[in-house]
Amino acid sequence: MENEFNWDEFEVAGFGQGYSKDEKEQLLAMYEGTLGEINENEVVKGTIVSITDRDVVLNVGYKADGLVPLNEFRDLTDMKVGDEVEVFVESQEDVNGQLVLSRKKAKIVKAWEEIQGALDNDKVIEGVVKRRTKGGLIVDIFGIESFLPGSQIDVKPIRDFDVFVGKQMELKVVKINYANDNVVVSHKVLIEKDLEKQKAEILNNLERGQVLEGVIKNMTNFGVFIDLGGVDGLLHITDISWGRINHPEEVLNLDQKVNVVVLDFDDDKRRISLGMKQLTPHPWESLDETIDVGSKVKGKIVNVADYGAFLEIKPGVEGLIHVSEMSWSQHLRNPQDFIKVGDELEAVVLTIDREERKMSLGIKQLTEDPWTKADLASKYAVGTKHNGVVRNLTNFGLFIELEEGIDGLVHVSDLSWTKKVKHPSEFTKVGESLEVVVLEIDPEQRRLALGHKQLEENPWEHFETVFEVGSVHKGTILNKTDKGAVVELQYGIEGFCLGKSLKKEDGATPEAGETLEFKVAEFSKEDKKIILSHTGTYKEEKKAAAAPKKKAAAPKKDAKADEGKATLGDLDALAKLKENMDKK
């Protein structure tokens, strides 16, 4: 202070004369005692001395007054001279020698002090929601923007943040990050504290069969979670309604208040199972007493499975239509070939058990059983020809459906006159159309014997004259086994040559695919069997060469055979037979 005020210069100017040195020091001490000590970067109180169009002059008890821009007092609409306000000391003296103050910074410093105090003392504070942001809300607390996460707004999920904008909320500070000037607050913790007592009371009084009111807070495809007042319970989809539903949203809504009954809970009461349908009587109890076996009922298909479909007579009352009761056809097919979910149809009650709450239904019973039709015997009389669809293949034959519910068996031996069919798959496949002739019918046993080869004349009657024992024919080896080889002859007929009769004249063994001459060693029309021999074609010649006496007879026999070969192709019957087989 002495450097700023020179008493000697003051006296020269004519002032201060008449004061001794001791008096001067005393007066200086009194002057300094009127000034307060202030430090930079701290908040102090000041009194408004005057208000101009641009500034507010404040006396903070310092040797000089400070100026604060008027715009920092916008929130004080009734401000007047003499009012006390808090300001922040930015600098004791600027380049112009003035004290630099800021009310704005004072408010920020005080706000951070309040926020820190709220965190330290677990104090409840109030804030105003300014706007929504990604993941939550921005809240104004003492002029500081803080973040309220969406998960901390309430104990239940919040789907619309906009409804909170502009509202005042009670909050608690949960985290402060001074490096980023970041504050995180929570409203949920306040609600949770209030709910703790309520939650404890609910859990202590929880009993099976107790009816409670709750709010739906979350939905899944398997059920809904219900807030019972701080305690969550699961209402499974099967316990929502006696009727079948695919998703809870079909009958319930989020935030909806509902009454539920406690079905079960674990020892710790952490998992609570709830029910809603149990609050109403089971629909089976009100089912019309006149419904019995043979009754016709109407309903809607609510589910289709591999084994059948469920028809809902009324919500909570369903009957199973087994796939075998959907059609008179003997071949089970996919139920979806007949009906689909949502179809409304009529059915006949086959069985009903009110105690077990089970019912089996049928829809094929709405039409006449095809095996009981009056014209069945004449329509499928023995010898009549029909076209059918191959429905199933077995080792012993195939089943053909002539019409819905009328099936017949074609034995594997009745597929072809000439080929030995080992399995029906070699001849046809499922789904193909095949012409057949009725061989036998038994309506009482629901049996129908069919044949396919019988559509043509039995060629073995003529083969007997073609493949006479001793006659020679060209044949192609189809395949070989340890016992011999299967040989294909003309007209597609197959014969068998034993292994010992298969060797060539030079001792070599022929392979599959080779074409050789074979002599008929045995022929059986009844068994449709031809035994062949290749060795017989050249051993006879050797034997004839060794016996000159028989030379005259041998040419006669060969000539007869050749004559037979030359004339057989011209026979009308065989020519017609060959033409039919070629067409086939």
Q: Which of 64-73, 81-90, 155-164, 561-570 has the lowest mean pLDDT?
A: 561-570
Q: Which of 92-106, 180-194, 327-341 has the lowest mean pLDDT?
A: 92-106
SS (H, E, C) 285-344: HHCCCCCCCCCEEEEEEEEECCCEEEEEEECCEEEEEEHHHCCCCCCCCCHHHCCCCCCE
Q: Evaluate if pTM is beyond 0.75.
A: no
Distance CA(183)–CA(123), nearest Å, equals 15
pLDDT greater than 60 at residue 212? yes
Give the pLDDT score at 552: 42
3-state class (DSSP) for residue 26: helix
- Going by pLDDT thresholds of 50, 70 and 90, the confidence category of residue 21 is low
Distance CA(214)–CA(234), nearest Å, equals 11
CA-nearest of 222, 126, 131 to 169 is: 126
| CATH fold match for the domains 35-106 and 460-582 | yes
pLDDT greater than 70 at residue 126? yes
Distance CA(34)–CA(61), nearest Å, equals 8
Higher confidence at residue 21 or residue 391?
Answer: 391
Distance CA(491)–CA(461), nearest Å, equals 13
Give the pLDDT score at 337: 79
pLDDT greater than 80 at residue 411? yes
Backbone phi, then psi, for 429, in 5-degree steps? -145, 165
pLDDT greater than 90 at residue 551? no
User: CB within 8 A of 406, min separation 6: which ones?
Assistant: 370, 371, 376, 380, 448
Domain 460-582: CATH architecture, name and number where available? Beta Barrel (2.40)
Is the CB of residue 274 less than 8 Å from the CB of residue 262? yes
> Mind listing the pLDDT tens digit for each residue in 519-536?
999 998 878 888 999 898
> Mind listing the pLDDT tens digit for each residue in 270-296?
788 999 998 988 888 888 888 999 999
CA-nearest of 462, 500, 498, 494 to 476 is: 494
pLDDT greater than 80 at residue 472? yes
Q: What percent of the chain has pLDDT over 70?
A: 82
Distance CA(219)–CA(206), nearest Å, equals 23
Distance CA(522)–CA(468), nearest Å, equals 8
Is the CB of residue 111 less than 8 Å from the CB of residue 149? no
- CATH number for the region 35-106 comes to 2.40.50.140
Q: Which of 80-84, 291-295, 406-410, 494-498 has the lowest mean pLDDT?
A: 80-84
End-to-end C-alpha distance for the chain, whole angstroms:
134
Measured from the Cβ of residue 305, the count of other Cβ atoms closer than 10 Å reads 11
The class (CATH top level) of 212-279 is mainly beta
- Going by pLDDT thresholds of 50, 70 and 90, the confidence category of residue 52 is confident
pLDDT greater than 60 at residue 462? yes
Distance CA(194)–CA(216), nearest Å, equals 20
Q: What is the DSSP string of 452-481?
A: SGGGS--THHHHHHHS-TT-EEEEEEEEE-
Domain 124-191: CATH architecture, name and number where available? Beta Barrel (2.40)
Give the pLDDT score at 191: 80
CATH 2.40.50.140 fits 370-455, yes or no: yes
Q: Are strands 168-177 and 182-186 parallel, antiparallel or unpaired?
A: antiparallel
- According to CATH, the superfamily of the domain at 283-366 is Nucleic acid-binding proteins (2.40.50.140)
CA-nearest of 306, 332, 330 to 320 is: 306
Domain-by-domain residue ranges, the chain? 1-30, 35-106, 124-191, 212-279, 283-366, 370-455, 460-582
Give the pLDDT score at 91: 63
Residue 100 structure tokens: 């630099």
Give the pLDDT score at 178: 79
